[in-house]
Amino acid sequence: CKTIIGFGSPNKQGKEDCHGAPLGDDEIALVREKLNWPYPAFEIPSEIASQWNAREAGQSAEANWNDKFVAYKEAHPQLAVELERRLNNRLPEDFAEQAQAYIEKLQAEGPVVASRKASQMALNAYSPLLPEMVGGSADLAGSNLTISQTSKGIEAKDASGNYLYYGVREFGMCAIMNGMALHGGFMPYGGTFLIFMEYARNALRMAALMKQQAIYVFTHDSIGLGEDGPTHQPIEQLANMRLTPNMSVWRPCDAVETAVAWKAAIERRDGPTALSLSRQNLAHQERDNQQLDNVARGGYILVDSAEKPELIFIATGSEVELAVNAAKELSAKGKQVRVVSMPSTDTFEAQDAAYRESVLPSDVLARVAVEAAIADYWYKYVGLDGRIVGMNSFGESAPAGELFEHFGFTVDNVVAVAEEIL
């Protein structure tokens, strides 16, 4: 190492003593003597300050840039308006309308696809409207499905593209995304397996702390990825991100919720959004117009009982279908059961108290959460007397179907767990 910690301190340089504690008045006096620094605290000599003062140069550079931009606006008025829109973090005026039309189209068509594929479909629908989007993947583009119809790779000899092949560099990818967001004028998104958010964790936290828009496409989001085994199967990662301040997390249950999640991520300008997406196909869920509108509220009643519910299932992602089928079986036995799909807990918690109460009535205490991720997170919703069908261990290496059965993600087990508290 070419640097010395505490350089100039006769008694403490090169030692841990000067890392986390003040030097002390006596040692500071010795440092001043050794470095020949006679100036008092917080005084910068004028000859040094003048060398570092870039105000005049900066003001001149800014004035020159402003003059050039005025000329640019006169020569290219439409391009100038577009540049200002991007630099000011404004979406195209028709984005919300076109995105909503796409969501309604999906609801009508009802595609049965993996949510990672639904994510690519959303990119194909939204990216032509948003030329500021810059995508990428950490060497998993073919699995994350982050390449859209508008994607063009950025190469050493051609920087005109909008897609970066980051290689196996999850932290580097997310840190670069932070840099693009801080620069302004870009909307970065990047993909990898959910488990590999661990490698990028610091960059994710910094995006949340700095309130920067970055969109993470995290696929293969549960034991449902199968034979790659516990090293690749995320368990605690969703809870980790959900507990990070200012991080928005979506785990959609079908193509419709995925499109809504992408729309929310695009419209959110003051922080990052993580999309948790499945490898396996997910069933399409039927919704009326009100339910479709309520998806954007993060949690909503997907299936309701004819009378006041005796039991509420709360589920996300690939387990929503499981909760719906368990509710059907219990309803056939005469039970009043509600199913709440909760793709985004932070978005749901941002809703007004009346709406939250309408979805999860406080006097209905029989609740079961179903999610193929760490179980403990869901006690805040089901209470200590509720039940959770979730993960309490690492996964195993086996086909997805066998894993779901082994860990209790079956209709029979969900029904049995629910009947314990009915």
Pick from 147, 145, 190, 148: nearest CA to 169: 190
Query: Which two tokens mark 107?
Result: 């609801």
Task: Please give the angle made by the CA atoms of 290, 292 and 298, to the nearest 5 degrees.
Answer: 105
Whole-angstrom distance, CA of residue 145 vs CA of residue 120 = 6
N-term to C-term CA, the chain? 65
DSSP sequence for 238-273 = HHHHHTSTT-EEE--SSHHHHHHHHHHHHH--SS-E
The answer to whether 170 is a known catalytic residue is: yes
Choose the catalytic residue: 56, 74, 97, 170: 170
Backbone dihedral angles phi then psi of residue 125, each to the nearest 5 degrees: -80, -40
Give the helix ranges, DSSP H, for 279-410: 289-294, 320-332, 345-349, 353-359, 379-382, 400-406
Whole-angstrom distance, CA of residue 123 vs CA of residue 127 = 5
Q: Give exposure, 397-415, as e/b (b: 16+ Cβ within 10 Å).
A: eeebeebbeebbbbbebbb
Contacts of 21 (CB under 8 A, 6+ apart): none
Whole-angstrom distance, CA of residue 355 vs CA of residue 351 = 7
Q: What are the residue numbers of the active site?
A: 170
